Structure 1
Amino acid sequence: MGAESLLTVGIRKGLGAKAQFCMAIKPLPVVKANQAIRLRATIDHTSSEGLKRVAGDEWQYPGPLTYKPTPEAEIVKIIDAVILTGGEALHLSAKRELIDSRGVKREVQEEWLVREEGAYLPGAYEQLVGVIQPVRLISTVGLHLKALHSCTDALGRKRAAGDEWLVTVQDTDSYVPEIGEEVVSHVTKTVLQKGQYCVVKNPVDNNGRPQYGKLELLKGITSFFLHPGEIIDDGIKSQYVLGEDEALVLEALEHFTDDSVTGGKVRRPGDRWMIRGPKSYIPPTQVKEMSQGNHQVIRKAIPLGENEGIYIRNLQTGEVKVIMGPKSYLLNEHEKLWEKELDPLVVSILKKGGGVGEGDIRKLAYFEQSIDAEYMGDKPRDKTRAVRYRCPHNTAVQVYEYQRKAARVVFGPDMAILGPHEDFNVLSLSAGKPKVENALKTICLMLGPDYITDILEVETADHARLKIKIAFNNHFEFERGNGDSAIFSVPDFIGFACREVGSRIRAVVSRVKFDEFHRHSMHLLKAGVFGYNPDGSVKERLVFEANKLVITNVDIQAIEPVDSTMRSSLLKSVQMAIEIATQSVQRTAGQNAACKEQEAKGLLERQKLANEQENEKARTILHELRASASAVESCGQATAEAQAQAERLLIEGHSAIEAARLKAEAEDILCGTDLNNTQMAQESELNYVREQNELEIDKTKQLADIEVEKFSEMVEALGADAIMEMANAGPKFQAELLSSLGLEMTLFTDGSSPINLFNVADGLVAQPQKSEMA
């Protein structure tokens, strides 16, 4: 290899080493303010500060500085300071045992907070967990906290594990929980308006600890926070506002002194009393409000109309009574409404107006007038209301009282009202045709007069079986107040009467043949039912002594054979009899019609002649009236035209006069308007000139006052000595002086009498001299 090639190789080697050297050179780390450089020892050594470092140890230097690296330590990283603003806290954790910036020894994994505002550089073994933002507290929101372990809270109070407390804006504006504190919830302030109150269970004492089992009454207007452990019992309530007809029943739960009574009154447990309106009342914690059973605490007076009532039970004596209107009744503290139970059948009877049964029973229509409005619709019956029934006219209702074991009878038209221990006597009557037992259930007994209808099956002596539809009138005869309960002695008086009458009719019919019965049926039935008098005549009535029922008449409505053959034969004979009677009636009617027709024709001819005569008379009168009408018409037309012409001329004259008068009034109004306008214009001009003159006078006067004031102020400003000098000086000097002061030589006051300022100045100067001489 030549010399040139060796030189080239050497240059190339030198350039490569220089490049490697340049790549190994690095700039020195610069640590700014609020920064720190963290280092780690790579080998055991003693630092320049004389501290022994073990491989793996970490430390840091805060800025500002320029760090010069050493081979014994390596740079881990540059740390920025954490900036804490107002209220924020820095959450730190210890990686190993250390002493923090405040000189407090920390254990491994121990956590703490740094609350100082400004920049904070975490130490080499301090781990940054996070920045905790403060909880801002306002006047209506508090903070419910709980201690997870024994600690000192952010306000410097010692807390045991499990303690709970409340922090409000009165304690601090913002709060950052300490390590070991837990935010349970945000508590909203409870506000009580005017007239509201609440009962707080377990109220806290002065140390903030709940007093379990105690109650505290708070009344509005107020606001408060519920501390941990406190509970509002049954929510916020409004005070009881009692009207004149309202009251509140209270019962004492414990021994206390009632301050709501004038002078105070001692209440013992179990005492019950009533607060009557009008007033507003807030019950203390020692009492409870008593309801009426329908969840209503306030008792209202119950208005009762005529024939209205309520059942009341006394809780002390157990007595049940009925209170009747018209009035309003307020239950006292030892009374409550009592519910009277009724048999479902009685309730059904009352809803139907007094009776229930099949729809074709005639008597049911009579009960509809007695349906009470209380039982209309589907609403349930108010059991506390007095049971009442409007007895129809000429009826009777029996009411039985179980305590006295006695019955009373109410006669209609009247209102039957049940007492607490009374009930209606329900009658089971026969109904229908033929009669069926227990077909009609009723509490109302019809006293009559009435009639009963029944269908009987009888057999004659010649074994003809017949169906007879009979009706018999009935009524009850008795004296009110004297054995009137006897009418209820027979529960089914209809069935009893039908059976008795039917047996008598069957006995009579069985002794006669069909033909005889067919010809004398009515007489036979009355004789069989009523019997005979001693003189042989038929009686007119049948009396049942058991229940005072009287039957006065028996009528046959229909007779029908049971056998179909006999029924058809009887029907044919009846039809033939009807045809014969019909033909006889028709022929008689035809003869009578012919006679009446002849009579009518004669009357008609006579009436025609009379009408023609009257017609001729009327025609004569008509011609006379037409002539008179023509004359009146011609005369009336001329008279009407003359009157119309006269009225036209009169109206035209009146119109001309009225037009002239209106024109004159218009001219008068125009002239008056012009005169008023001229007068107003002159007055306005005169006022303008007067006001202008007054303004000129005021202006002149004000200018004169200004000049006088100006002169006076200038004289005062010059002083007596200056004026004296002016007086002693020559005229030229005086003129220059006055000119410099802005004054003219001559001042005219009124335009004719000049004033010489020199003389004025001499006078001003001379006057003090005279005074001095004097």
Structure 2
Amino acid sequence: MSDTIKLKPYEYIHVLDEDTNITRLFVGPLTYLKQHNEKVVDGPKQMILVGPRQYCVIENPVVIEDNEPVLDENGQVLLKYGEKEIRFESNEKFPLYPGEKLLGSVLKLQTVQPQQALRLKAIQDFKEKINDVIVERKAGTEWYFEGPGTYIPNIRVQVLETVKAVFIEESSALKLTALSTFTDGEVTRKAGEIWLETKEGFYLPKVEEKVLGLVKGFVLTDRKALHLKARSTFVDKFGKKRKAGNEWLVTKQETEYYIPGVFEDVVREVPLVILNDMQYCVVLNPVIDGKQHFGKKQLRKGEATLFLASWRIAEQWTGKNEQKELEHDTDMNNENKEKKKKDKKVSKVRRTPGERWMVHGPRRYIPPVAVQLLERRAAIPLHKDEGVYVRDLRTGLIRTVIGETYMLKPYEELWEKELTSVVEKLINIDVDPTITRGGIQPDQMEAPQRDKTRVVTFQIPNNSAVQIYDYKEKTARVQFGPDLVMLEPDEDFTVLSLSAGRPKIGHQVKAIALLLGPDFSTDLVTVETSDHARLNLKLQYAWRFEVNKDIKEESTKIFQVPDFIGDMCKAIGSRIRGSLIRKAVFGVDKKTGHVRDRLEFKANNLIVTDIDIQTVEPIDEETRLSLQKSVQLAISITTQSQEADARHEALKKSTESQGKLEIQQLEDEIEAETTRQTLYQQQADCKSIETAGKAKAQAKAKSEAAVIQGESKVNQATLTTTAEEIEDKIKLDFSKEKNSAEFEHKKQMNLLEIDFAKEMSQIYSKKFKEIVTLIGPETLEIMSQSELLNKAELLEGLNLNGYLIADAKKPVNLIKTANSLLGDKR
């Protein structure tokens, strides 16, 4: 059995003979009869065409001799196994022999643009001819194929990358390093060496070079310099030797733009410092006469200009400082940091390190290098109710200065007085500091900011007192309001912690000012009756303080009890629980036997003048329930009786209202029926009237419409005629006016032209007369003979008496010629 395979043009197949194990190539156009022992192992496939500027890579290429493949003794084509072959442009397609492989596809030749190059590497030893020169390439050698051009690939060469040239501008350089030792012209570069390429234009790095980056140059101006630091010892472009770690400045005086070298680091760009006559600066580590003095300071005063690098910045001030223009009541506090003897012409005062002094205004002041400026002070104006705390730095003593304009001394400073958070809030809130109206709860309020150097003041309300304790002297003083209290450095307020609520709970209210009364306080007291019924009594006390303000012991006595509200309520409650309220509270006067009218607390002179029971509530639950039941029963009986009366009254009123309603309904129905009958009669009458009126109206309307229509047509005709007559008359009048106007216009134009002609003729005649008069008759005679005289003189000058000159285009007037020859001057 056999198969027929038809191959088209430019198609091929590989057929394996299974008996001989030989693979053969068959190329179309062909009709191939495949035998039973043959097998198609590849194809049919299209032949390969390599076009212009294209190439392909063949693996295991066939051996060719005399343009024919070489066969072995068995008829199998010989191949170069393990090798590759590049095939370029061909005019014909070609097939692949058995064993050959196409790597990839047909590729385009690579074009290298200008300022570009291909980096190549030899993977085998080979020789190539370049410009009639044989060049030997060793495996591992790298070189460039520079553009512009088309690169022809070589099977022994590997393309590593495309390298582009770098453009070097005028103020920049290319930083390069050597990958291996090589010779660049007359310069030998060692492996690892770094240098700068500064030549302007495009630069293509060599194979042995690696680009580290593009270094931008710095443009230097009159106001900008460059601060550099040496990375290692070298000689710079100005011929100066720089050691590792050295720092220096490059200014415009040396070069207009500077490109840092490979051994230089740019620290920063340094701006120009300009000092006017009111400015100065302190320079650290100054450069004097080209030499730097480390650890030294130098004062530079304005007017001046200088560059300060980072290692020359002033220690205390950065950049420039203003001269201190001191005014009245203004001082400069200075501290000497080292021994400094002032200018002998100014003063002979010797300052020691750590000493402080003041420079008083008005004046200008520039602190020397050895002097540290601490602060600028101004006089503090104080009202009579204002003050400040001042501390002496040498002794540590603190004092108050009140009611004067004060300037701190050199060894003085303002001291801040600290207060507790409760006192901070209480002295700044603007509320009534009474304890019987709820008091002040400072924990719920925010304390405003206070200048702690100012003397603490507190306005004592009227009819109240404040206790101030001196921790240094261990004494207390009491001041009564209205008054303003001012605390000394070692003084503080006594804070009262009072009870509040019903029943009273301790430490609920904080207060500084103690109200002297009279005022009221309420409390809830639990008592038990003789029949063992427990009741809650809501009591209200009227109280006040009785104190002699002139006696110190009496004044301080009112603050002996910190929580007088709680103690008062407890004492009165204990008495109430023992017996009758007023008798128990106030007691009985032994002389008169009557109940006293007040209760005195001698501990703090607190007087209770009255007591009142506001409410009484039983505490025992059974007693309360019994009272509630009896009250509820009484309320229920009363409510039921009222409800029965209300129901009876309501039923009576409802029955009467129902009877009246039914009578009214009957009367309304009779009246409605009578009204309905009258309505029907009126509707019938209206219908008949409406029908008759409608017919009459229609007839009358038609007749009136006809009359109106006839009259309107007559009026319309009359108006049309009138309008036409008016229109014709207007047209006639318009035509007459137009003709009259045109006639008048033409008449005026003719008159104007006549006048214009007359005036122009007069002007021309006058002009001609004046010209003739001016020229004169003799001149006119000469002008009339000038042409003949010129001709005669011309002929006389040429010595011509009887010659005739003419051309063929013009006829000759012999009569005039004869006259001319005869001398006729007509």
TM-score when normalising by structure 1: 0.49
- Judging by fraction of residues, say which structure has more strand: 2
TM-score by length of 2: 0.46
